Amino acid sequence: MALEARDDRIKVGIIGASGYTGVELIKLVHNHPVFELGYVADSKGGTTVGALHPILDGVIDLEVEKASVEKANEMDLVFLALPHKTAFSFAKDLKCKVVDLSADYRLKLETYEKYYCPHGDSKNIQNYIYGLVEHYGNELKHTHNVAVPGCYPTATLLALLPFRGLIDEGSAIIIDAKSGISGAGKKCTEKTHFGKVNENSFAYSPIHHRHAPEIAEKFGCETQRICFIPQLIPVTRGMIVNIYITLSKDIDVVQHLKEFYKDKKFVRIKDEPVELKNVVGTHFCDIYAQKNGNVVFLNSAIDNLLRGASSQALACANIICALDENMGLPDIAYAP
Ramachandran category for residue 153: left, alpha or beta (phi over 0 → left; psi -120 to 50 → alpha)? alpha
Annotated catalytic residue within 151, 285, 316, 321 = 151
Q: Taking the mean position of all CA atoms in its chain, how far away is CA 287?
A: 17
pLDDT in tens, the chain (336 residues): 334 444 579 999 999 999 999 999 999 999 999 999 999 999 999 999 999 999 999 999 899 999 999 999 999 999 999 999 999 999 999 999 999 999 999 999 999 999 999 999 999 999 999 999 999 999 999 999 999 999 999 999 999 999 999 999 989 999 999 999 887 777 777 777 787 888 888 888 888 899 999 999 999 999 999 999 999 999 999 999 999 999 999 999 999 999 999 999 999 999 999 999 999 999 999 999 999 999 999 999 999 999 999 999 999 999 999 999 999 998 887 655
Query: Hey, what's the torsion of the CAs at 265, 267, 268, 273, to 10 degrees?
Result: 170
pLDDT of residue 192: 76
Q: Are 41 and 207 in contact (CB under 8 A)?
A: no
Give the C-alpha separation, 210 to 223, whole Å.
10
Q: In what order do the strands lie in the sheet with 47-48?
A: 47-48, 63-66, 35-42, 10-15, 77-80, 97-100, 145-147, 129-130
Nearest to 130 by CA among 138, 120, 118: 138
Q: What is the pTM of this model?
A: 0.94
Give the C-alpha separation, 319 to 142, whole Å.
9
Write the CB contacts of 255 (distance below 8 Å, at least 6 apart in sequence).
none
Write the CB contacts of 286 (distance below 8 Å, at least 6 apart in sequence).
268, 270, 274, 275, 278, 279, 300, 301, 302
At what angle are helices 311-320 and 20-30 packed, to 10 degrees? 50
pLDDT of residue 248: 96
Give the C-alpha separation, 4 to 336, whole Å.
26
pLDDT of residue 283: 97
Active-site residue 285, yes or no? no
pLDDT of residue 2: 39
- Residue 231's SS3 state is strand
pLDDT of residue 4: 46
pLDDT of residue 119: 97
Cα–Cα separations (whole angstroms), residue 102 to 130, 145, 243: 11, 13, 24
pLDDT of residue 135: 97
Give the C-alpha separation, 305 to 40, whole Å.
18
Domains of the chain and CATH, by start: 10-127 (3.40.50.720), 152-303 (3.30.360.10)
pLDDT of residue 203: 87
